[in-house]
């Protein structure tokens, strides 16, 4: 094959190989090092091809396909790279859907490769045939079915480009079995553009000037940090930006760790179980600057009473998010880092000390009423907050923390003192119970140089408990903390507050978690008393391998503050 390189004629060699091998070679060309997967009949040719590349690709055999997607999410989030998943057709593919939906709403780049029955059997209800393209379409950034082996290199290149560019997201590529067996002339070229797809919009200079004018004229500005800051690697320019303009800044649960928790302009967490000051003062600021966030209902509460007094600047890469929930006075469409860099020379140095003092005053109220009691309780039972405090102190705020979904998730987000970016891994938009254990596994595979601690409720842990087998097989030294209150705690809290304590099917009779850990050769310990807690956490962190620490916590502990469903965020409850 002849091509032109720098104006000169040259010969590009092609190789004849199967579609299955072409897929593996394409993954290597994209820099893939790790795959999370589970084999089966329809993807067997790909696994056979993978056998010859075991020294170049690290395949982690999970215990359930959903675990593969969550592990890939954890890997992708700590590395800021694309996570890769393999699964077979039918139930293998459908078991991926929850993780794919989770990745879609949380903007996590992932490429899922599914095997499919032979093309001549499509539509015949063949054994383990499922329309994975139709099923996954609503929860993917893009999907495509390959029936011709010659398509594989081009489609894989396109899949990785789409998954990682602009607002990231999951892509599903479904490959029929005959396409895996068939031969093709293989050559690979990375995708750098698609004619109809513009992932990074060009920033409009007039919007930058309008935004800067509002910021410079503000008396009480307030900045909201979303996950877009982390995705675009904008955390350093964000810090310089808020320091120059002296703007109090709060974070969404997915924006957590973009700004050091100890930074003097970090005023805490937004939303339903966020901090008192940022929630109340959202409805008092005069300019609201949202960076890389989508105004989720958990952040805004009742939209009709959300920041009505403020001029809203919305910095967002995805145009579909503009005006979707909150009307923007100045929409600035573009990559968060590029926008902040362009705004920096346009904003003035400022001092909003009196405004910042309002946050400190309200924080003191929360400190006296809630935080001190959560972190240093005088009650007999162990509280979730003090467990998180000990973990934070033992790790000096430098661990990667992976949380499941529920009360423990909110408490950990509130009380762990994050010092480093890309350190908070959680299921934000979908709220997937069972996320944490496999995601922590993937995070540790992605960042073996950093401690990874999974904080999980007893309910969520049992949804993906089988992944202890993966941790055991691959000797993944993740630390697992189970906060055991023998309840589905968040649901129970709502039942207590809003359903007259009618605890309908939320109490759990749990197994002996330490005995289960022992069955997987994982060291473990159970803590039931406060005086055992500090030493238990230290032992866990000092242990060189995987470790499970079960802590029995107060059975009916509630998480406050709390914005009731349908209320304004400024109507946040302290008890």
CATH number at 266 reads 3.40.50.1220
Q: What is the DSSP string of 29-42?
A: HTT--EEEE---GG
Clarify whether residues 172 and 102 are in a common domain: yes
Catalytic residue among 21, 30, 65, 550: 65
Q: What is the pLDDT of residue 14?
A: 82
Instruction: Please give the residue range of the domain that contains residue 437.
Output: 380-553
Q: What is the pLDDT of residue 4?
A: 43
Upstream peptide bond of 346 is cis (omega within 30 degrees of 0): no
Any domain includes 139:
yes
**Which CATH number covers residue 466?**
3.40.50.970
Residue 197 phi/psi, 5° resolution? Answer: -120, 120
Clarify whether residues 132 and 31 are in a common domain: yes
Q: Closest by alpha carbon to 450, among 110, 108, 78? A: 78
Clarify whether residues 521 and 398 are in a common domain: yes
Clarify whether residues 327 and 385 are in a common domain: no
Pair 87, 112: CB distance under 8 Å: yes
Any domain includes 274:
yes
Catalytic residue among 110, 490, 540, 562: 490
Among 119, 152, 186, residue at a domain's last position: 186
Give yes or no: 137 in active site: no
Give yes or no: 177 in active site: yes
Clarify whether residues 89 and 47 are in a common domain: yes
Give yes or no: 523 in active site: no
Q: What is the pLDDT of residue 165?
A: 97
Q: Give the separation between CA 351 and CA 110, rounded to whole angstroms.
A: 42
Any domain includes 371:
no
Clarify whether residues 333 and 400 are in a common domain: no
Looking at residue 201, the DSSP 8-state letter turns out to be P
Q: How many other C-beta atoms lie within 10 A of the C-beta of residue 167?
A: 22
Give yes or no: 65 in active site: yes
Q: Give the separation between CA 467 and CA 350, rounded to whole angstroms.
A: 51
Q: What is the pLDDT of residue 565?
A: 87
Clarify whether residues 168 and 42 are in a common domain: yes
Any domain includes 6:
yes
Residue 511 to residues 247, 434, 541, Cα–Cα distance (Å) = 49, 17, 24
Residue 432 to residues 406, 429, 511, Cα–Cα distance (Å) = 9, 9, 22
Any domain includes 294:
yes
Clarify whether residues 399 and 346 are in a common domain: no
Any domain includes 56:
yes
Give yes or no: 127 in active site: yes
Q: Give the separation between CA 516 and CA 524, rounded to whole angstroms.
A: 9
Q: What is the pLDDT of residue 346?
A: 98
Q: What is the pLDDT of residue 509?
A: 97
- The residues, any chain, with a CB within 8 Å of residue 370's CB and separated by 6 or more, are 276, 560, 561, 574
Looking at residue 450, the DSSP 8-state letter turns out to be S
Q: Count up the domains in the chain and report the number.
A: 3
Q: How many other C-beta atoms lie within 10 A of the C-beta of residue 352?
A: 18
Clarify whether residues 88 and 33 are in a common domain: yes
Clarify whether residues 182 and 209 are in a common domain: no
Report the predicted TM-score, pTM, of the whole model to 2 decimal places: 0.95
Any domain includes 211:
yes
Q: What is the DSSP string of 202-238?
A: PPPHHHHHHHHHHHHH-SSEEEEE-THHHHTT-HHHH
Among 131, 151, 186, residue at a domain's last position: 186
How would you class 187 by CB atoms within 10 Å of its CB: exposed for 0-12, middle for 13-18, buried for 19 or more?
A: middle
Sign of CA dihedral 565, 222, 225, 261: negative
Catalytic residue among 141, 158, 177, 526: 177
Q: Give the separation between CA 32 and CA 433, rounded to whole angstroms.
A: 28
Q: What is the pLDDT of residue 8?
A: 47
N-term to C-term CA, the chain: 73
Any domain includes 366:
no
Clarify whether residues 408 and 513 are in a common domain: yes
Among 186, 216, 236, residue at a domain's last position: 186
Catalytic residue among 128, 233, 466, 496: 128
Q: Give the separation between CA 183 and CA 297, rounded to whole angstroms.
A: 50
Residue 196 phi/psi, 5° resolution? Answer: -100, 10
- The residues, any chain, with a CB within 8 Å of residue 170's CB and separated by 6 or more, are 100, 103, 104, 108, 109, 110, 111, 112, 139, 140, 141, 163
Catalytic residue among 15, 56, 127, 393: 127
Clarify whether residues 219 and 144 are in a common domain: no
Where residue 188 falls (left for φ over 0; alpha for ψ -120 to 50; beta otherwise) is beta
Residue 307 to residues 249, 285, 319, 357, 417, Cα–Cα distance (Å) = 15, 8, 21, 20, 28
Q: Give the separation between CA 444 and CA 499, rounded to whole angstroms.
A: 40
pLDDT tens per residue, the chain (575 residues)?
Answer: 444 444 444 445 689 999 999 999 999 999 999 999 999 999 999 999 999 999 999 999 999 999 999 999 999 999 999 999 999 999 999 999 999 999 999 999 999 999 999 999 999 999 999 999 999 999 999 999 999 999 999 999 999 999 999 999 999 999 999 999 999 999 999 999 999 999 999 999 999 999 999 999 999 999 999 999 999 999 999 999 999 999 999 999 999 999 999 999 999 999 999 999 999 999 999 999 999 999 999 999 999 999 999 999 999 999 999 999 999 999 999 999 999 999 999 999 999 999 999 999 999 999 999 999 999 999 899 999 999 999 999 999 999 999 999 999 999 999 999 999 999 999 999 999 999 999 999 999 999 999 999 999 999 999 999 999 999 999 999 999 999 999 999 999 999 999 999 999 999 999 999 999 999 999 999 999 999 999 999 999 999 999 999 999 999 999 999 999 889 999 999 98
């Amino acid at each position: 094959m002849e091509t032109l390189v720098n104006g000169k004629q040259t010969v590009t060699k092609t190789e004849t190989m199967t579609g299955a091998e072409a897929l593996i070679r394409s993954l290597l060309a994209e820099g893939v090092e790790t795959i999370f997967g589970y084999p089966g009949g329809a993807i067997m040719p790909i696994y056979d091809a993978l056998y010859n590349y075991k020294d170049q690709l690290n395949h982690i055999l999970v215990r359930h396909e959903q675990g593969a997607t969550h592990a890939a999410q954890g890997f992708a989030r700590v590395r800021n790279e694309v996570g890769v998943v393999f699964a077979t057709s039918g139930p293998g593919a459908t078991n991926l859907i929850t993780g794919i939906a989770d990745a879609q709403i949380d903007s996590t780049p992932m490429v899922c490769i599914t095997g499919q029955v032979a093309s001549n059997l499509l539509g015949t209800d063949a054994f383990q045939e499922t329309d994975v393209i139709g099923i996954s379409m609503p929860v993917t950034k893009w999907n495509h079915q390959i029936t011709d082996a010659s398509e594989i290199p081009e489609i894989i290149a396109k899949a990785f480009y789409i998954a990682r560019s602009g607002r990231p997201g999951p892509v599903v590529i479904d490959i029929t079995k005959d396409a895996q067996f068939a031969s093709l002339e293989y050559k690979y070229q990375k995708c750098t553009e698609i004619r109809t797809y513009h992932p990074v919009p060009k920033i409009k200079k007039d919007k930058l000037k309008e935004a800067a004018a509002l910021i410079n004229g503000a008396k009480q500005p307030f900045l909201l940090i979303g996950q877009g800051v982390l995705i675009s690697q904008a955390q350093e320019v964000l810090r310089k930006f808020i320091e120059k303009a002296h703007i109090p800044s709060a974070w969404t649960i997915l924006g957590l760790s973009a700004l050091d928790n100890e930074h003097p302009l970090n005023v805490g967490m937004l939303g339903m179980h966020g901090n008192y000051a940022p929630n109340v003062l959202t409805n008092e600021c005069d300019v609201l600057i949202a960076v890389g966030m989508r105004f989720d209902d958990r952040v805004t509460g009742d939209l009709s009473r959300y920041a009505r007094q403020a001029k809203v600047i919305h910095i967002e890469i995805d145009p579909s998010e503009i005006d979707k929930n909150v009307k923007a006075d100045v929409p600035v469409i573009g990559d968060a880092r590029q926008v902040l860099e362009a705004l920096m020379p346009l904003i003035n140095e400022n001092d909003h000390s009196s405004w910042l003092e309002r946050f400190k005053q309200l924080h003191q109220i929360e400190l006296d009423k809630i935080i001190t009691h959560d972190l240093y309780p005088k009650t007999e039972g162990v509280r979730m907050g003090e467990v998180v405090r000990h973990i934070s102190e033992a790790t000096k705020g430098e661990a990667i923390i992976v949380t499941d979904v529920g009360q423990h998730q909110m408490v950990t987000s509130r009380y762990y003192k994050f010092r480093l970016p890309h350190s908070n891994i959680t299921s934000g938009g979908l709220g997937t119970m069972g996320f944490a254990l496999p995601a922590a596994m993937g995070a540790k595979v992605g960042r073996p140089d950093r401690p990874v601690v999974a904080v999980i409720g007893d309910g969520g842990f049992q949804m993906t408990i089988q992944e202890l087998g993966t941790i055991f097989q691959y000797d993944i030294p993740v630390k697992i903390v189970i906060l055991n209150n023998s309840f589905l705690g968040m649901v129970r809290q709502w039942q207590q507050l809003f359903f007259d304590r009618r605890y309908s099917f939320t109490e759990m009779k749990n197994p002996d978690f330490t005995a289960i850990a022992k069955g997987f050769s994982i060291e473990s310990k159970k803590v039931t008393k406060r005086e055992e807690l500090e030493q238990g956490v230290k032992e866990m962190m000092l242990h060189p391998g995987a470790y499970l620490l079960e802590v029995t916590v107060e059975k009916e502990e509630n998480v406050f503050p709390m914005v009731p469903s349908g209320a304004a965020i400024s109507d946040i409850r302290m008890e």
